Amino acid sequence: MNKMALGYQELLIILAIIVVLFGASRLPQLAKALGQSKRAFKEGQDEAEEEARIEASKRRERLRTSESDTVEEDELASDKYSARKSR
């Protein structure tokens, strides 16, 4: 049995404490604020994930470009070596 799980009795007690602290008239406002906060957090998280994907894509492209430049330099160097050797 999970010791951290809350039963219905515990949830009712927590709800009663919230109603006493904030009053029944403010509960809809609190729920709305909580929903907006959750939505804003999710949007920020999605933006961060998208930025990470874009950055990873840029890194892969830079790596591919640097690898192709290295291959071209190696080919040029081997061509120069071959030209000198054939003289």
Mean pLDDT within 24-37: 90
0.75 exceeded by the pTM?
no
For residue range 31-79, what is the model confidence (pLDDT) as tens digits? 899 999 999 999 999 999 999 999 999 999 988 888 776 766 666 566 5
DSSP state of 25: T
DSSP secondary structure, 47-73, as one string: HHHHHHHHHHHHHHHHHHHHHHHHHHH
- Residue 44: what pLDDT? 96
For residue range 47-57, what is the model confidence (pLDDT) as tens digits? 999 999 999 99
Contact 25, 33 (CB under 8 A): no
Residue 82 confidence (pLDDT) above 90: no
Contact 30, 22 (CB under 8 A): yes
The phi, psi pair for 2, rounded to 5°, reads -75, 120
User: What is the residue whose two structure tokens read 């003289």?
Assistant: 87
